Amino acid sequence: MPKVIAIDRTENHLRYLLADFGARGRITIQAAESLSVDSEVESVALELGQQLKASLAAHKATKPRVMIGVGRGAIETVDFKVPEIEEALLPDMVRSLAMRNLSSINDQTPLDFLTSHPKEDGSRNVIAMTLREEVRRELDLLCEAAGVTNTRILIRPHELRAFVTEEESASEAMLLVSCSPQMADVLLVHPQGSALSRSIRLPATSSPAKSAELAVNEIRRTLFSLPVDDFDATQIDQLLFLGRDNESPYLSTELGTALDARVQRRDPFEQVNVPAHVELPHRSQFAPLVGMLLNETRSTHPIDFLNPRKPPAPVDRRKRILSGVAAAALVIGSGWFYVNSMFAEVDEANADKLAEVKDLRETAEKAQPKIALAKSLIAWERGRINWLDELRDLTIRMPSSRELTVNRFSATASRDGGANVSFGGVAKSPEAVSQMENSLRDGHHHPRTPGLRERPGQDGPVWTFQTSMAVTARKADEYTSHLPKDIDATDESDPVRNDESSEDSMSDDTNDQT
């Protein structure tokens, strides 16, 4: 059986596990290695591919089956709800709704998706995902330089699902965490069927305690911004840290305390065979790769951009029609003499009706999928947003331009009558981005900033960000941020209205204090 290699690339670092699959899905690790190159080289992907080729040749694995895992930042996502619909029609509906929300998606774009359990009305939450084109080109260059052919492109955090049983995921909310020196992969698994992932860059610092504190704050902020409506993503029952007891002790302890969750450690290699010659100094960083190997034996990869979920192949109706015609001809031929002699007029009328019913049934069957899809899309099409008021409201609530500047802004309509807004820019500090999110977040705005990137500026380091925000429609008189707060908008002689204004002010003060 050919060898299987699971690869994970993070910027100028690459890790891989080379394994053999034995009888009954038994996995034996043949090699585990971390590669790295100088980030200043002309092509990081090319250099890493050449190193990988030499390493595979040393292990006599020139034609392995290749799986590559990418981080959460390598993909574009859009989340929405779909009504009750047949599974065969779901892929087409998801692609149609995703194309309306992400301009980078077309009919040929590799797209895969996750769904939650159906709700009482049959609707489901959907997270549609597509691989960024520049990441796809880098992976192709890496494989070409290594002399291998890629067969799967997977999402690294979602592969951690292999370490949780169905019974565990159905009973409590679990947060799975694996760490490398550069990145922490986080997967939230909830009994309602949701599986939400993030890849969080770990700060470079010489103090493990300080690094753990910064990482915990980033993970908590990420959990708070996850796109969930049915449960509180910050209410975690169990924290499952994939690694040995001596790996990232500060992070697991501090994170368990911050989330008020039970902390459990699990060796990611306990389900595979590791010979004595294979050295694994830090096991947690290889956890997503072990998950990829385990899911490969079970055929349970949650997302695979090279083998996405597709609608079933269309049924060839010609054979059915010919078989039906042949059977009908046989029946009609055998009883023709009797029917013709005794019920000639009835037979002629029945034949006309049967032909009419058959034509109508075939027409209805052909049109039914399109009708169902059209009804579903129309049913989920709702109002419009007053963009003049909305942009004025967003501008007023943003931090000052000295602290944060928006360079890019785009908005697309969503199926529930609101919009999905995406904007990016530069901030003088991470606190300015947090201030921006807190200022914008309310019942009509749900901003999410997956991560920040530090880069040098003229007056010191600055932070680039990319924020996505779900916006719901509201009436024109609900836009109040431009009104002076010290001027009462009602007549003082109206005691009822004045009482309402006082309550609003108290609510605003309370929110500010919070």
Same domain, 107 and 89: yes
- Average pLDDT across the chain, whole number: 82
**End residue of a domain, out of 266, 298, 330:** 298
Same domain, 271 and 413: no
Q: Is residue 488 part of a domain?
A: no
Same domain, 103 and 124: yes
| Residue 26 in tokens | 């038994």
Same domain, 160 and 206: yes
Same domain, 163 and 51: yes
- Domain span at 87: 4-298
**End residue of a domain, out of 379, 398, 419:** 379
Classify residue 498 as exposed, middle or buried by CB count within 10 Å of its CB (0-12, 13-18, 19+): middle
Go through the chain and tell me how many residues it has.
514
Distance CA 143, CA 14 (A): 12
Is residue 263 predicted with pLDDT exceeding 50?
Answer: yes
Provide the pLDDT confidence category of residue 490 given band limits of 50, 70 and 90: very low
**End residue of a domain, out of 361, 379, 397:** 379
Task: State the pLDDT at residue 304.
Answer: 94
Same domain, 242 and 101: yes
Domain at 475, CATH number: 3.30.70.2830
Same domain, 350 and 442: no
Same domain, 279 and 329: no
Q: Is residue 81 part of a domain?
A: yes
Q: What is the pLDDT of residues 135-178, one digit of tens each?
A: 999 999 999 999 999 999 999 999 999 999 888 888 888 999 99
Half-sphere exposure of 466 (CA within 13 A, CB side): 7
Q: What share of the chain is helix, strand, coil (3-state, %, to 5)?
A: 40, 25, 35
Q: What is the largest CA-CA distance in the chain?
A: 103
| Residue 48 in tokens | 């890493």
Q: Is residue 180 part of a domain?
A: yes
Distance CA 156, CA 289 (A): 8
Torsion, CA 91, CA 97, CA 102, CA 106, rounded to 10: 50
Q: What is the pLDDT of residues 284-331, one digit of tens each?
A: 999 999 999 999 999 999 999 999 988 766 655 566 666 666 666 666
Lowest mean pLDDT among 328-342, 384-398, 437-451, 470-484: 328-342
Same domain, 261 and 343: no
Q: Do 156 and 8 contact (CB within 8 A), yes or no?
A: yes
As a whole number, mean pLDDT of residues 225-240 equals 74
Same domain, 333 and 282: no
Q: What is the DSSP string of 297-309?
A: HHT--S-BTTS--
Q: Is residue 90 part of a domain?
A: yes
Q: Is residue 193 part of a domain?
A: yes
| pTM exceeds 0.75 for this model | no
Q: In 235-343, which ranges are continuous DSSP H helix?
A: 249-259, 287-298, 317-342
Same domain, 25 and 153: yes
Q: Is residue 507 part of a domain?
A: no
Q: Is residue 491 part of a domain?
A: no
**How many domains in the chain?**
3
Same domain, 32 and 106: yes
